[in-house]
Each structure stands twice: as structure tokens, then as C-alpha cells.
Chains A and B, each alone.
Chain A
Amino acid sequence: MANNAKTISASGVEPRGPKPRPMLSPRNIMIYGTLFIVAIYYALPLYVMVVTSLKGMPEIRLGNIFAPPVEVTFEPWVKAWAEACTGLNCNGLSQGFWNSVKILIPSAALSILIASINGYALANWKFKGSEVFFTILIFGAFVPYQVIIYPIVIILRELNLFGKLGGLVMVHVIFGMPILTLLFRNYFTSLPEELFKAARVDGAGFWGIYFRIMLPMSLPIFVVALILQVTGIWNDFLFGVIYTKPDNYPMTVQLNNIVNSVQGVKEYNVNMAATMLTGIVPLIIYFASGKLFVRGIAAGAVKG
């Protein structure tokens, strides 16, 4: 849509809408000026993070957080990755990073697989009560986590999963389910029904249709779901801190422990490097995925 607007205005032929205005009209100056200031405001914290993480401590003490580094140093990054202290040990964030990876991969894969099958069953194989369960699930998304966290502790203890990565994976699958199921259900509902019927006539069953027709056709929505889950799980803090032991803490929890640990002199440059390291994964996904990210977050907003 935006691309269309761009090409139209660039080529100068715009049959509809207001007549073209000169670029420097007061209106344009106001609009672009405001947007420019807003954009600077939103971009500034990221800039401050990067700049601070590249300075040495003496420079930070003397200078201004907005000033670019006089002497660029990558030492804070190395330190944040390998040596920063969490209060328990001084192995840096690397351990948390790998923990997060170990949590992320099975959680994202499982939650998407399960939710897509759920969504498929809800869209094409409605059975008595399926809508009721779905409604409960959607309302469940609004229940504050705090109401549910303790009973889940008990369930995980019974299953001997408490404090282990497997337990946390299960929790992510559970709490990702409402939004993902909604996403897939809406997508499968929007596919032409003839497709499904033709496959039925050809004798394909539940799983046959899912794996041979639905799965290959729904690649875009899988990408959207993946973006949603990867950023969501990577950014999680509450579940990580409750359901894992310090050895398995995900990156966000470790980051918080590093920055907010009270021992020793505060090394702001190392803290900012650690913060950047944690933020970099979702940022890469965000900037690489562009419109798909927007589609993912909007999926929660558009109700079925």
C-alpha cells in the first residue's frame, strides 16, 4: 500500500486525492518536522545504548551520555559476554544466551506445531464443543499470569519438570497457545473451502490434508507465528525466573542480575553492552522481517 503511494507520487500521476502540493509547504514542514522529532525521540535510547557500550568508563564519568565515543572500545562487549558477574558467578551473559537458545528452539517449534494443528482442527474439523474450548482459550489469554503461575509450579513438580528446561518449554507452549491458535484458525478459515472438500473427495484424511495441503499452503502464516514466538519467548522474564534454576536462567534474567547486582563498582558501559546483546536478537528479527512483524502483532488485535 505504502509502496503504491510512493510510486504514484514519484511518477507524478495521481488521478485521485488532493492536488499535489509543493514539498516545502507549511503543512509538510509541520508534518515531517513533527515526525522527525518523534523519530529521534524513539531512536535515542538505542543510540545511547550503543554509544555507551563503546566507551571506556573514564569517558563515561566525564562526558555526556549522548556524545559519540571519542575512543571506540569493544572491551565492554567482550566483558559483558564472557566476564560480567551475576552475583552467583562471573561467566558473563554467554551462558544465558545459550540457555535462551536452548529454551527458544523447542518452545517455538512445539508451540507452533501444536497451535497450527489446533487451528486446523478448529477451522476445518469442527466437533461438538470445539468452539467452547476455543472461547475458553481466548479468554484465558486475558487471565493475569499471576493467577496461574503457582498451580503450574505444582503441576511441573508432579511431572518432575520443575526447574528444568523441559518445564519452561511446556509453559511457553501453554501460554503461546491462545494467540497462535487464533492466528492459525483465522488463516485456515480464510482458505477456500473447495480445497478442503476436493481433498476429502480424493480420500485424504485429517493428517493427510494437514501435511499435504494445509502445511505447504500456509508458509507465510508460519513465518508470522515464528516471528511472534521467537521475540515473545526471547523477551520473557517472568516464566524464566519462576520455572528455571540459576543454571538454566534465560538471558533476560541473567541480564537483570548483572545490571542490578549491587556488588562492586557499576560499569555502565558493560551494562549497556549486555543490554544490547540481549536486545540484538529481537531487533535483528524485527528489522529483517519488516511487514511480517507488524502482521504478527496485529494478529492479536484482529479478533476472529
Chain B
Amino acid sequence: MAGAKQPVRILRNLNAKIAALPMIATALVIFVGCTVWTIVHSFTKSRLLPKLEFVGFDQYERLWSTRRWLISIENLAYYGIGSLVFSLTIGFLLAALLDQKIRFENTFRTIILYPFALSFIVTGLVWQWILNPEFGIQHIVRSLGFESFVFDPLYTPDIVIFGVLIAGLWQGTGFIMVIMLSGLRGIDGEIWKAARIDGIPKWKTYLFIVIPMMRPTFVTALVLISAGIIKVYDLVVAQTNGGPGIASEVPAKYVYDAMFRSQNLGQGFAASTMMLLSVLVVLIPWAYLEFGGRKNGK
């Protein structure tokens, strides 16, 4: 091979290149091309149809002075912080419980993980039913004698997003638990022996030895949860459709409605660019730690 004349460059490995064409096209046209297209058009005054009449940051100024967008962002923040904190804590605690060399581990795992197989639409509709004030939890507790019991998140604007969060956590914590469990299983058993010989209590071993060792697992979980948070859309559409009023709107829904309902493409592009920006804020430091760190390791 080494002695052979250099064949025409592009023809080397031609089959592989042809086979990889769909991937190359997707990477370049869809992920790079379409993203750039949207960002460029977010600076135009496109309404019903996209057109290249640039208006600078007008769309963004309008976006940030629209009440609905601000509520969406606020909801996303509550939902995001809630799902990060609770998914990580509950996911870890459940994984630690399952890791106690218990019987029926598979059964418990299967039950806790099954919601993850369901769609957000199904999830949202079930929880809409369970949280229904006339028939659901509120009704049952009241019929037990607590007449003044109030638990009606889906029709209370101030807390509606937490009603959505309950459903989201039910659907997603099993997944985080599975990731945490595989992280825990990756920890050397010797660590536990050493800690026991030193007389360190179990909870301290978890908190000060195991969790720091599981940093990569936590980072992975964090990235996956964050990617899920920004995408939250179907759940809200099914459970509350943004209501009551606009109290449970989220950015993804704002984008969809601007693009496909109110013929306000420019707003949709600007809003989606903001979503991209928020992903980059999480993604860039992570990629830097992950890949930058790996290079140094080599």
C-alpha cells in the first residue's frame, strides 16, 4: 500500500464516502445549514413567509417585551430547576436503594422505569386526570373528610408549572435512576471495604467518597436532563395546553405557536435562537470539560 501511487484523493475509500453521504448531508444541511438559516432569519421581519429584510435586533426586543415569552422563560426556569434538583436527588437515592444487594431488583427497576417508555402526551393526559379537581386527588382527600383540602395545581396559575413538573418527574426519574445505578456499579467494591474498615458510616461514604467519584455520571445525567428540559413541549400541550390563560406556557410552545399559528415567523426564529443560546450555555462548558480534559489526559 505504501509503495502504491497516490490514487485520486476523492476516490480513495469511495464506498465509505458514498455510504456516509446521508450522515454528511444531515450534519451539514440540517444541523449546520438549517441552524444558520434560522439564526439569520431571526434578524428579519419575516411574518407569513420568510424574507430577507433585515431589521437588526427588533425581533429580540419585541420578544423580550412580550409578556407571554417572559412567562415562558420563568416557567422554564422553575421547571428546569425543579427537574434538575429532583431528578438528580430522587434518581440517585433510588439507585442507591436498588444497589443494596436487594432481592427483586429487576422488578423494582421495571416498575420505576416504565413511565419512560410512555410518550409525554400519554403522561400529560394521565396526570391531567389524576390532578383533576373534581375527580382526582383533591376530590378523594375531600371525601375522606378534609372538606377544605385544596390541591388543584392545573387550574391555579401560580403553581400550574409544578403540576406539569410532577408529571415530568414521574416520567423521567426512572431513566436518571438507571444511569445513576450504572454509575454506582462502576465504583470499585474495594472502596466500600476500605471505608468500612475505617469505620466510616455508610451515608458519609456515599456523600464524601462515592458521589465525588461519580462525577462523570452526574455530568452525563445533568446534560441529559438539561437537554430534556429545553425540549419540554408535548407534556404541556397535553396536560394544560399552556393554560390556565398563559400561565403554563413554555418557550418551545411559544416558537411553535409563533411559526404555525400566528404567522409570526420572525418571532419564532428569534425565540428558537434564544433556545439554542441557552443550550450552548450548558453545552460549551460541558464539551470543554469533557473533550478538553480528555485531550490533556492523552
* A interface residues, Cβ below 8 angstroms from B: 1-2, 5-6, 9, 17, 31-32, 34-35, 38-39, 41-46, 48-49, 52, 60, 64-66, 114, 117-118, 120-122, 125-127, 130, 133-134, 136-137, 139-140, 142-152, 154-155, 173-174, 177, 181, 205-207, 231, 234-238, 242, 252, 255-256, 259-260, 268, 271-272, 275, 278-279, 282-283, 285-287, 290, 293-294, 297-298, 300-303
Contact = CB atoms under 8 A, between A and B. Distances in A.
A48 B26 contact: no
Tell me whether chain A's interface is mostly helix, strand or loop, or mixed: helix
A42 B119 contact: no
Given A130-B16, A272-B126, 16 more contacts: A32-B102, A38-B112, A45-B130, A48-B129, A64-B143, A133-B20, A143-B279, A145-B231, A150-B265, A151-B38, A235-B119, A235-B120, A256-B125, A256-B238, A275-B122, A297-B178
Interface string B21-62: 011101111111111011100000000001000000000000
A137 B283 contact: no
Nearest to A117: B19
Contact of B23 (A65, A118, A290): A118
A237 B234 contact: yes
Given A118-B22, A130-B20, A293-B117, A45 B255 contact: no
Nearest to A145: B231
A86 B272 CA distance: 30
Contact of A127 (B16, B139, B140, B271): B16
A125 B14 CA distance: 10
B27 A303 contact: no
A133 B24 CA distance: 6
Contacts of B88: none
B256 A42 contact: no
Contacts of B276: 143-144, 147
20 contacts: A1-B185, A32-B102, A42-B111, A42-B114, A65-B139, A121-B16, A121-B20, A125-B16, A139-B31, A143-B31, A146-B255, A147-B38, A150-B50, A151-B34, A174-B30, A206-B16, A256-B125, A256-B238, A297-B116, A301-B182
A124 B220 CA distance: 27
Most chain A CB within 10 A, of B30, B109, B273, B290, is at B30
Contacts of A268: 129, 132, 135
Given A17-B101, A136-B31, A46 B224 contact: no
Most buried by B among A43, A134, A147: A147
A260 B98 CA distance: 38
B237 A237 contact: yes
Contacts, number: 261
Nearest to B37: A151
B154 to A, nearest CB: 12
Contacts of A174: 26, 30
The secondary structure that dominates the B interface is: helix
Given A147-B273, A268-B135, A283-B118, A65 B129 contact: yes
A93 to B, nearest CB: 12
Interface string B78-98: 000000000000000010011
A31 B97 contact: yes
Interface of B: 12-13, 15-17, 19-20, 22-24, 26-35, 37-39, 50, 94, 97-98, 100-103, 105-122, 125-130, 132, 135-136, 139-140, 143, 170, 174-175, 178-179, 182, 185, 220-221, 224, 227, 230-231, 233-234, 237-238, 241, 251-252, 255-256, 259-260, 265, 268-269, 271-273, 275-276, 279, 283, 287, 290
A142 B260 contact: no
A142 B102 CA distance: 37
Nearest to B280: A142
A275 B290 CA distance: 41
B19 A206 contact: yes
Nearest to A125: B16
Contacts of A17: 101
B19 A237 contact: no
A35 B117 contact: no
B51 to A, nearest CB: 12
A52 B233 contact: no
Nearest to A43: B111
B244 to A, nearest CB: 14
B23 A137 contact: yes
Nearest to B13: A127
A278 to B, nearest CB: 6
Contacts of B38: 147-148, 150-151
Given A45-B130, A48-B129, A147-B276, A121 B252 contact: no
Given A137-B26, A285-B117, A150 B268 contact: yes
B35 A147 contact: yes
A9 B283 CA distance: 44
A65 B126 CA distance: 11
- Nearest 3 A-B pairs (CB), nearest first? A140-B31, A235-B119, A125-B16
Nearest to A144: B275
Contacts of A282: 117-119
A39 B112 contact: yes
Contacts of A177: 22-23, 26
A234 B132 CA distance: 27
B26 A122 contact: no
A148 B30 contact: yes
B97 A34 contact: yes
